[in-house]
Structure 1
Amino acid sequence: MSANGTLLSAALLLVIPVAAQAETVKYSAEIKALSDGIYRGVSQTEGRPQYTAGAQAAYGKVFVGVLYKSMRDRTTGVDNQTQAMLGYRTKILGNDVTARAIFKQYNGTRIGIDNEFMEYEVNAARKLNARLTAKLNLAYSPDNYGKAKEATYAEWGLDYKLTPKLTLQAANGFRHNQYSTDYTSYLAGISYAVTPKFNASLTFTTTDKSELGARYGDSTFVTLSKKF
């Protein structure tokens, strides 16, 4: 494991026992099933289904978490990804803000592939009115996966509640990967809250680099998510 990964793992081991002793500690978990493993506009599964499972422990505004993702990439051999994260939630000038430091590891890769890295991410959301919410996602990695080095991602989006359970979504993002592929992503979708903790959505995504193959092409996929 890299030095960054070791430091983050140590932070998790220190924070979790302290949080566990506090009466206000809150635990949560979520599982998801996607018919195509789309992430930031491109497929992580070569068009096949993806399954994720994650858990968090929060103490006040601070939280720690872990995440597992199934993946598929025959060029590198990767078959899953694991994450460990340390985050902070707050409110700034009416915006809900979440910042996270995430250690990501791609497992199953061939020998010699740079398969672990740190990513730093900030998400902000602001209610523009009772139905409309604006969202912003910014991410930075100083040394990303594989041949990519410095990498950034910026995405803005809107959620519009048609009804208390039915929400329309639209987003536009840009990905920069030093020594790899830069692209612009587009997303449109609709989600339905079957219950307060079970959600189903239908999403269409594409990028401006569809000529590079199916990974960057059009995808319409279903997502089912369950919170605990």
Structure 2
Amino acid sequence: MTTRIAAAAAFALGLTFAAGTAGAFELEGAGLTVGVTPTVSSDYLFRGVSQTRNRPAVQGTIDIQHTTGLYVGAFASNVAFLGTNARQEIDALAGWRTTFAGVSLDVGGIAYTYPGYEHGLGAYDLQYFELAAKASYEIPNLPVPVKVLGAFNWSPNYQLESGDGFYVEGGVEIGLPYDLTLGSRAGYQWIQNNARWGSPDFANWNVTLSYKFSDFVLTAGYYDTNLNKRECFGGQKICDARAMVFLSRTF
């Protein structure tokens, strides 16, 4: 399946279903596992910053993985950036997943695109590419499941043509009784050309609680950054602390 077809399928699924955790099915004889993750949420935050100007988002993800660990995928969402005509984001993903000494590893790349977006004379491009590495490890012999996570992303020319961009993130997930999961993440974004990007380097963090019932998962969370209004992309309110809700359906 080509990236273009995968992205279109993800977007269509995002418009059709309300979900956030996908089931997966196998294509017999091909060695492929296909996962689909449609999502609805009260906002679309990327590293703590709203991509929809504090409005709801409808999203979809498709993930196709071979038994070798190689995978391709796509993500789609509505977006709304002040002063642009960008209305949708479609990302293409590819990489390799494996497990070594109990550590789950994922290395690959992500291309962030905004179909239909037109940047006028003197404007900078929204589209960019990142190399990404993620790792997770479930700590053994604890009374409850505890997983620690880490991630590192690097772009040679970050969004708005702002030069090198580096992002690091760490987190934890704790399995609780009654099908509850408590999670937390903290990350930091460095940008080479802050004036062009629109904010200083910044930190973000969140705490979430998820509840699985029947075929659904309901997640509520608190999200924040260390950017004040003056520092936030020309005085916007897209970096403020906020509560968010996600509704998920597994199928």
Please give the TM-score of this superposition, normalised by the length of structure 1: 0.85
Partner of residue 207 from structure 1, selected from 215, 225, 244: 225
CA separation in 2, counterparts of 1:118 and 1:151?
10
Shift of 1:20: 7.1
Alignment of 1:189 with 2:197, yes or no, is: no
- Asked if structure 2 preserves the Cα contact closer than 8 Å seen for 1:36 and 1:50, the reply is yes
What pairs up with 1:65-214 in 2 under 5 angstroms?
Answer: 65-112=73-120, 113-128=124-139, 129=142, 130-163=144-177, 165-179=179-193, 180=197, 181=199, 182-195=201-214, 198-211=216-229, 212=232, 213-214=236-237
2:39 paired with 1:32: yes
Q: Aligned-pair distance for 1:164?
A: 5.7
Using the TM superposition, name which of 205-214 and 29-38 deviates more: 205-214
Q: How many angstroms apart in 1 are the aligned matches of 2:223 and 2:59? A: 19
1:44 and 2:51 matched: yes
Counting matched residue pairs gives: 213
What is the percentage of aligned positions where both structures have the same residue? 21
Asked if the contact 2:31–2:66 (Cα under 8 Å) also holds between the matched residues in 1, the reply is yes
Report the Cα offset of residue 35 of structure 1: 0.2
Give the whole-Å Cα distance in 1 for the aligned partners of 2:250 and 2:76. 15
How does the TM-score come out when normalised to structure 2?
0.77
RMSD: 2.3
Indicate how the Cα distance of structure 1 residues 221 and 9 shifts in structure 2: closer, same or farther if over 3 A, else same. closer
| Distance in 1 of aligned mates of 2:46 and 2:165 | 15
Match of 1:4 in 2: none
Equivalent-residue separation in structure 2 for 1:122 and 1:227 (angstroms): 26
* Aligned-partner Cα distance in 2 for 1:216–1:108: 25
Give the distance between the partners of 1:226 and 1:204, measured in 2 at CA: 21
Out of 106-115 and 51-60, give the one that drifted further: 106-115
SS in 2 for 1:215: coil
Indicate if the aligned counterparts of 1:31 and 1:227 stay in contact, CA closer than 8 A.
no
Q: Give the match's secondary structure for 1:107.
A: coil
**Between Structure 1 and Structure 2, which shows a larger proportion of strand residues?**
1
What secondary structure is seen at the aligned counterpart in 2 of 1:109?
coil
